Amino acid sequence: MEPLTPEKANYIIAHYMQLLNEPEKIALKQHRHSLKLSELPDGELRTKIYLRNQWLTDEPEILAQLDEGYVQFILNCAGRILKDYPDEVFFNYCAKCGKLARTPRAKQCRFCGYDWHE
């Protein structure tokens, strides 16, 4: 099998979100909300509110998934998904240039413009 790239991992996370398990979903939410928080003022107060609303977590096991950074985290998730659901993920490669299309249902290549609408 070809190596998993961050691009492929992103594609899986974006289009096969339902295949993430609960701890992975929480970790993903954690990452997105903490990114947003870092851009806002009153970080400390907001962090408390976010924790209360469960937009953030303080569970060490969940947080540990993000220890090696977001890219490694999505590579881990995508690798697990491919192992657990090898038949569910469709990599939509362009027939002309071989690159990965933007979505599993795309019918036009964003790189070379090749169009496979019937």
**Residue numbers at the binding site for Zn ion (CB under 5 A):** 94, 96-97, 109, 111-112, 114
Task: Tell the smallest beta-carbon distance from residue 77 to Zn ion (Å).
Answer: 26
Instruction: State which residue, 29 or 102, has the beta carbon closest to Zn ion.
Output: 102
Task: Tell the smallest beta-carbon distance from residue 76 to Zn ion (Å).
Answer: 29
Euclidean distance between CA atoms 76 and 50, whole angstroms: 26
Instruction: State which residue, 61 or 115, has the beta carbon closest to Zn ion.
Output: 115
Which distant-in-sequence residues (6+ apart) come within 8 Å of 72 by Cβ? none
Task: Tell the smallest beta-carbon distance from residue 98 to Zn ion (Å).
Answer: 7
- Integer angstrom CA distances of residue 97 from 79, 87, 115, 117: 24, 24, 11, 16
Instruction: State which residue, 96 or 107, has the beta carbon closest to Zn ion.
Output: 96
